[in-house]
Structure 1
Amino acid sequence: MTQNNIKRWHYHDLDRRFWIDAIRTVVPHIPAWFLSLSRFIGAVICFFYMRRERQAIMSNMKRITAKSWAKRVWLTISLLHNYAKQLVSFAIHDKFSDVYWQQSVTTEGGLHEKIDQALQKGKGLLLNSAHLGNWEIGKHILPMRSTKVNMIMVPSENSDMEEYWNEFRAQSGLHIIDLKESEFAALEILGALRNNEIVLIHGDRVVNHACIQVPFFGQKAYFPTGPIELVRITGAPFMSVFFLIDKKDKYTVILDDSLQLEWSGNRKADVEKNVAQMARMYEQYITQYPTQWYAFYDFWQLPPALNDAQLVSSQERR
């Protein structure tokens, strides 16, 4: 199997509509203690059944935490347990009101004000996140009802499940910009920001040749340049947002606007410097919440979205 054909977590055989339908049907009717026990048992089963994902998480944990093998086993099971919480929350999110979800979240002070102030500039807002925590519940928390929200997505190979997930997202008014299906995706993204809309993007996944290597936990790893390029081209405000599970199974919203992106006029140097800044910010939060970073492949290897020929070609163009 070539590196380009490696299948990741969300392409797994267990990723089927049957399981999501089962969760949606059963979860609202079972006691909280039984749900908690079931999620943990499911995490343990996945730890033993999903050998490839287990090895990748253990490898990532070694770089992030430098813990012993035994402690990394527990961290890996904890990560799978947290992912089960996220999956359940997403599967049933439309069965409860916004008020229900808002009561489950501790919101950072000034969250709404920061977003409103950013939109007042009239250049839209680029909300950057990562596969860290449960970003899917953001639609219930952030003040987006009066502003069109666009989510940049790359579809999985499981088209049936992708359509299923997007049905849920559309119910909350999210507009999906599909990077692979639309030939005009870039223009659509630029148009959204120019219309003073919100664009959601993940900065910890490489999906094409638009990427560079920057230091990450002591060794270089690939990160996409897209989020930084969008800011450079449009001048849109740039913030990062994370929805993290606390010890009481509630969510804490963190809106980070601390990145001071720098522009000298040297495009290549500016992009590299600012992507490195973004990676350092991710390090900060992943260090605090290592069991909520859902990277189910070895993050420091060549990304599954690329092959060697694509990477060499992209580097030659730069």
Structure 2
Amino acid sequence: MSENTQWYEVKQNHNLGYALMFFVLKIFPAGFMRFLAFPIGFFYWAFGKKTRRISKDYLRRVATGKTSTFRHISSFALNLVENVQSWAGKFSFKNVTWQDDDVGDLVANINAGRGTVIVISHLGNAQMMKGLASMGESGTERKMNITTISDAKISSGFNALLNEINPDSSFNLVNSNDIGPETILLLQERLEKGGVVVIAGDRVSAHTDRNLEIDFLEAKARFPYGVFLLLALLKAPTYFVNGLRHKDFTLSPKYDMFVKKNPLDFDCPRKEREARIRQTAENYVQNLEKLCKMHPYQWYNFFDFWSGTND
């Protein structure tokens, strides 16, 4: 494995840990499992030399003053616990606070049955909102039919576990590696029926070198061109959504949800499309950077994010 490792080169096998946490959650109170996140975080921190190095590099870019790689990795362990809590129905919507932003527009779109695309990131907890939505706790009048686009090779085991935890979950998986004309038509059909498509915008593909280099935390970083091209092809209202723990470390978490609508649409001549694709990506990155600075310990992209650029 090279020194500059991308996320798809790292074996991501948290399924056993998730299964164990779900087993513990069935026996003990949720607060007990959250307490266990700290020794789990210490284990990752103590034996993850490369993870510590990547965490340190990110923290020096995003924050001023004293920072702690241990706190960063422990925050990630808490995030894993909260994933399981949300899918097991142990996290209530009353613990979520919406901001005075574009959430009203998002809810109005969903209530009206208009297809919506949500672009998430590895900042904060995206699984929490999908878990709440599957329980019918989304804050909308209509139950959301969610289609998640992700690398099936990486996420299939995790999704199988989620289906075991919550067989009534209402989200479908589309493999990001198989997107073609037929997949686009499938997604468009689901959007026409009022569905919600969810995709992460902050991890490059393992199957293409076509990426966008955009300034992020004062250096060039690579973001996936294909994600933003997909937004152009789907032509649906698009929102950037992040759920961030109000306090980085607490046994009784409350979340702040941030919703930012992309001001651009893709009802434009084809010659303008590329410029709008890049501008949409830049809008996404600017929003991501602002939120990273608010809660630097809740960014969970533990790979060489700034490697492979011309910076």
Deviation, 1:127, is 0.9
Sort the Cα spacing of 1:27 and 1:119 in 2 relative to 1 into closer, same or farther, 3 A: closer
Secondary structure of the residue aligned to 2:149 is strand
Corresponding position: 1:298 with 2:304 = yes
Secondary structure of the residue aligned to 2:118 is strand
Corresponding position: 1:77 with 2:70 = yes
Is the 1:106–1:251 contact (alpha carbons within 8 Å) kept by the matching residues of 2?
yes
CA distance in 1, matches of 2:31, 2:160: 32
Q: Deviations over 1:52-81 (max 9, x none)?
A: 2121111111222254xxx33x1x222222
CA distance in 2, matches of 1:161, 1:232: 29
Partner of 1:309: none
CA distance in 2, matches of 1:214, 1:278: 10
Is the 1:123–1:195 contact (alpha carbons within 8 Å) kept by the matching residues of 2?
yes
Partner of 1:221: 221
Which TM-score applies when normalising by structure 1?
0.78
Corresponding position: 1:95 with 2:99 = no
Aligned length: 293
Deviation, 1:156, is 4.1
Partner of 1:274: 280
Secondary structure of the residue aligned to 2:173 is strand
Show the 5 A alignment for 1:15-26.
15-17=14-16, 19-26=17-24
**2:60 pairs with 48, 59, 62, which one?**
62
Show the 5 A alignment for 1:240-255.
240-247=240-247, 248=250, 249-255=253-259
Give the counterpart letter for 2:47 in structure 1: Y
CA distance in 2, matches of 1:119, 1:159: 27
Structure 1 residue runs without a partner (length 5+)? 304-318
Q: Deviations over 1:236-281 (max 9, x none)?
A: 1111111111225211111122x42276743333322321222111
CA distance in 2, matches of 1:9, 1:85: 24
CA distance in 2, matches of 1:232, 1:252: 29
Deviation, 1:202, is 0.9
Partner of 1:41: 39
Show the 5 A alignment for 1:2-13.
2=2, 11-12=11-12
Deviation, 1:90, is 1.9
Partner of 1:316: none
**2:172 pairs with 170, 175, 179, which one?**
175
Q: CA RMSD for the aligned pairs?
A: 3.2
Deviation, 1:232, is 2.7
Is the 2:101–2:260 contact (alpha carbons within 8 Å) kept by the matching residues of 1?
no
Give the counterpart letter for 2:257 in structure 1: V
Q: Deviations over 1:263-310 (max 9, x none)?
A: 67433333223212221111111111111110110111139xxxxxxx
Give the counterpart letter for 1:211 in structure 2: N
Partner of 1:124: 115
Partner of 1:286: 292
CA distance in 1, matches of 2:111, 2:119: 18
Deviation, 1:118, is 2.4
% same residue: 22
Sort the Cα spacing of 1:164 and 1:181 in 2 relative to 1 into closer, same or farther, 3 A: farther
